[in-house]
Structure 1
């Protein structure tokens, strides 16, 4: 059984029903909920899996502010939890999704069983509302200049390790990226510019594990190691490297990534 599309008060999401643990997945800046479809088939069939389209992505209504903070995305996520009566959740954030996940963990740690951060985007630490970081400004300028398809064609290949030998995965990543649009992407780029993941993780009270692609050139493995080190030892779970995976680790190596997620939900304190 695959994902079914839903929408709740202007926020769209995909869901696979299940009677087991609840896993909520948050995509990165150049993706959407559909990117988790390859991972879904590898996760235990009894898990209830929900993947959101962040505000401003696909059918989700954008946020009201031009430069949102991670807490604004967390508010939207927690409101969805309320509407779906979700509690005792496992939360998986990938790349930019790590910022929203960590902010949600700060807001309501009692609602989360565990958190998994993958291929961590640390944020650029710029003051909210100031001049954008050059990397975030380039993202916005490139999308505006090239359009979604041209933007995806230029960027998507870097998310996959050896894309020339993994054409199907590269095409899948590019298709998801070609569906980004303004203003949602611009808001997400500003979130990236202002994000301070390491600061948020230093106050995290939720058991947290970190997974990363060993060949990631977008958010290099050192980023994820820094995120893991920022966690207090009390909540620090596993640190897992996925061999042969680039930034789009859960799309490129879904079987290995799903096995890592399963280990993260069942144990802690190991570095693999």
Structure 2
């Protein structure tokens, strides 16, 4: 049973976190976004959610899990915002369940290595296995600040580190397999609805030039988030939340015309 956090009422906005995070990482959106029903899931194998049944699930498996969660939440249609690996899952959901997505936002998107050479995919997979084998404490100590802008606030580093410390090996490894073997573009090819791409200007994990190229490929608006690294929703929450408010308003306006 997938677990999620939610607050508010009105237009539904669903947030999908990245590979080393969880629903709790969106705390600045829960406290800073109003005028909508905000939902954030714990991806299968993360937080309080059990892992998927498949040992090596692919994006469609996560999309089905999200569909089940939204049914339980009574959400028929949602604005969908995926961050990092969550962007890949969001694209799969939008492709498989297009009538359930009003608008699709990809923030600091991880595009997957599905089109890379087998050697590269294997390298990515093995690298993630080594990371989690070192333990979540070591990961938090060595990687948390790398997800944020230079000179990031102590509290933001603590938020990222806390998410890493809560990682469960089975959930993380399943997501790592997804990252190494999926490709965001195969799913975007089947999405015909509104799409936009955001990226922190200081993102060194999924660099702005890669996110911009994705936006250009699919003729989508591109938004650079100033003073922000990969975890742009933490680094510059004010700007990020303003963009959420804009997207929600645009989605609501579409319903009234």
Per the alignment, residue 257 of structure 1 pairs with 240
Partner of 1:216 in structure 2? 203
Tell me, yes or no, if structure 1 residue 239 matches structure 2 residue 222: yes
- Normalization by structure 1: what TM-score? 0.86
Number of aligned residue pairs: give it.
250
Q: How do residues 120-199 of structure 1 correspond to structure 2 at under 5 angstroms?
A: 120-125=109-114, 132-144=121-133, 146-163=134-151, 165-199=152-186
- Indicate conservation of the 8 Å contact 1:27/1:94, yes or no: yes
Which stretch shifts more, 244-253 or 63-72?
63-72
CA contact (8 A) 2:113 2:121 kept: no
Preserved CA contact (<8 Å) 1:159 1:248 = yes
Shift of residue 131, structure 1, vs aligned partner: 8.7
Farther off after superposition, 222-231 or 149-158: 222-231
Instruction: Look up the match of 1:226.
Output: 213
Q: Which residue of 1 aligns with 2:76?
A: 87
Mean Cα displacement is larger for which, 174-183 or 184-193? 174-183
Which residue is equivalent to 1:48?
Answer: 37
Residues 1:55 and 1:100: Cα distance change in structure 2 (over 3 Å): same
Length-normalised TM-score, structure 2: 0.91
Deviates more, 1:51-60 or 1:200-209: 200-209
Alpha-carbon distance in 1 for matches of 2:122, 2:230: 21
Q: Which runs of 5+ in 2 are unaligned?
A: 252-257
User: 1:175-200, CA deviations, whole angstroms, 9 ceiling, x for partnerless residues?
Assistant: 11111111000000000001111222
State the shift of 1:142 in Å: 1.6
Task: State the SS of the aligned residue for 2:245.
Answer: helix
TM-aligned CA distance change 1:230 to 1:200, over 3 Å = farther
Q: Which residue of 1 aligns with 2:11?
A: 21
Query: What per-residue deviation string (whole Å, max 9, x for no partner) do you get for residues 102-131 of structure 1?
Result: 01101111111111110010001169x999
Equivalent-residue separation in structure 1 for 2:49 and 2:141 (angstroms): 24
Instruction: Give deviations 1:29-56, integer Å, cap 9, x for gaps.
Output: 0000000011222212x31101000000
Q: Which runs of 5+ in 1 are unaligned?
A: 1-9
**Which of the pair is proportionally richer in helix?**
2
Contact conserved, 2:11 with 2:248, CA < 8 A, in 1?
Answer: no
